[in-house]
Amino acid sequence: MSSAEPVRYWDYLAAYEPRRDEYLRAVDRVFSSGRLVMGQEVAAFEEAIAAYCGTGYAVGVNSGTDALTLALKALGVGAGHEVITVSNTAVPTVAAIRAAGATPVFVDVEEDTFLIDVSQVEGAMNGRTRCILPVHLCGQMADMAPLVEIAKRRGVRIVEDCAQACGASYRGNRAGSLGDIGAFSFYPTKVLGAFGDAGVMTTADPELAARLRRLRFYGMEGSYYAEEEGFNSRLDEVQAALLSLALPGVERAVEKRRELAELYDQGLAGVGDLALPAVREGCRHQFYLYTVRTGRRDELQEYLRGEGIETRINYPHPVHLMRGYAFLGYREGDLPVTERLARSILSLPMYPELPRRHAEKVVEAVRAFFRGSR
């Protein structure tokens, strides 16, 4: 197969081009409004995203990392406290726990969904545990029902890392609506993406929402007076306006992702030693990532590269084995499933505008790889 037309892993231009005028008009509307920060655009987006997630409140911030950090702070999680989470995640999950002053405690993940292994959570708890921080990785939510039950019974809080899960749901509940606070990133590659950095925190609790608003604005309520120590983490008016334009398209985008996932599922079933993404019953996977597993991952990636097909590894290094987190004291072998996944996972091209013929080319190339080497 020749690779005349490269198959991109991700691309936002195909979504931007047809709506360019709308986006540019929104930017001009903000620039001409006389108000560049903390104005009507942020308030309008917060209302819209809270409605979408089915939470009463949403508070905009400047990144997903800050959303996680401020969520922990608002729940009183800080120095001397432990937060149970996974190492099979993006570095910012862990960076945010440290930024809040707390210590991450890692448990392993389920091999087929890549999500937190709930059966390990209670064993990792002790008197310092204050919070469980499940990561809804790849577009599917962690098994929330037992987590909520454990948190209630043990008197700890839950912050959901929803950076990869906008549009996902669990038994009819949207990501960000089952924990005490949901933390979203709108980094451009995410399912709802801004044109730069942006994030939001969702909650059903009006007092928590008020505290989150304070924390993002130097701890101030009115002007020039801090009620508590805070941060500067504002969502700016331009990003909010652009996000408000993009939000109504999320459902359609998720449907397109699910159609592409279906195409991959059908084309790749039973091929070689490939394991396809597992979807938990009663859950809506939005396929932020379509991640397969194979014992011959590096060879397959190399072969696809030769065919002009971009792929990614999300993520090649578990956080607990990174030099930057060596001080936490974990060693190779501590989280066997997480470590095995890092060696076997591969994410195939996936974005709503990915042409079907590109997805078909991916299927053909993967099949050819396994055929050729039988």
Ligand X SMILES: *Cc1c(COP(=O)(O)O)cnc(C)c1O
| Binding stretches for ligand X (CB under 6 A) | 63-65, 89-90, 92-93, 135, 161, 163-164, 185, 187, 197, 199
Q: Give the span between the Cα atoms of 306 and 115, in whole angstroms.
A: 31
Give the 3-state secondary structure of residue 345. strand
By beta-carbon proximity to ligand X, the closer residue of 185 and 338 is 185
By beta-carbon proximity to ligand X, the closer residue of 61 and 300 is 61
Which residue's Cβ lies closest to ligand X? Answer: 64
Q: Give the span between the Cα atoms of 128 and 2, in whole angstroms.
A: 58
By beta-carbon proximity to ligand X, the closer residue of 3 and 103 is 103
Smallest gap from residue 174 Cβ to ligand X (A): 17
Smallest gap from residue 163 Cβ to ligand X (A): 3
Contacts of 369 (CB under 8 A, 6+ apart): 272, 299, 300, 303, 304
Q: Which of 73, 152, 190, 361 is catalytic?
A: 190
By beta-carbon proximity to ligand X, the closer residue of 239 and 301 is 239
Give the 3-state secondary structure of residue 243. helix
Q: Give the span between the Cα atoms of 285 and 260, in whole angstroms.
A: 12
Q: In terms of residues, how long is the chain?
A: 374
Give strand pairing partners of 6.
none
Q: Which residues of 307-320 are buried (b: 16+ CB within 10 A; e: fewer)?
A: bbbbbbbbbeebbb
Smallest gap from residue 54 Cβ to ligand X (A): 21
By beta-carbon proximity to ligand X, the closer residue of 174 and 361 is 174
Q: Give the span between the Cα atoms of 104 and 178, in whole angstroms.
A: 21
Q: Give the span between the Cα atoms of 215 and 233, in whole angstroms.
A: 8
Q: Is 190 a catalytic residue?
A: yes
By beta-carbon proximity to ligand X, the closer residue of 92 and 318 is 92
The number of beta carbons lying within 10 Å of the beta carbon of residue 197 is 18
Smallest gap from residue 263 Cβ to ligand X (A): 24
**Residue 86 is encoded by which pair of tokens?**
């996974």
Tokens 């699910």 belong to residue: 258
Smallest gap from residue 368 Cβ to ligand X (A): 31
Please tell me whether the peptide bond between 16 and the residue prior to it is cis, using omega within 30 degrees of 0: no
Smallest gap from residue 312 Cβ to ligand X (A): 12
Q: Give the span between the Cα atoms of 237 and 134, in whole angstroms.
A: 30
**DSSP run (H or E) holding 59:** strand 57-61
Active site amino acids: 190
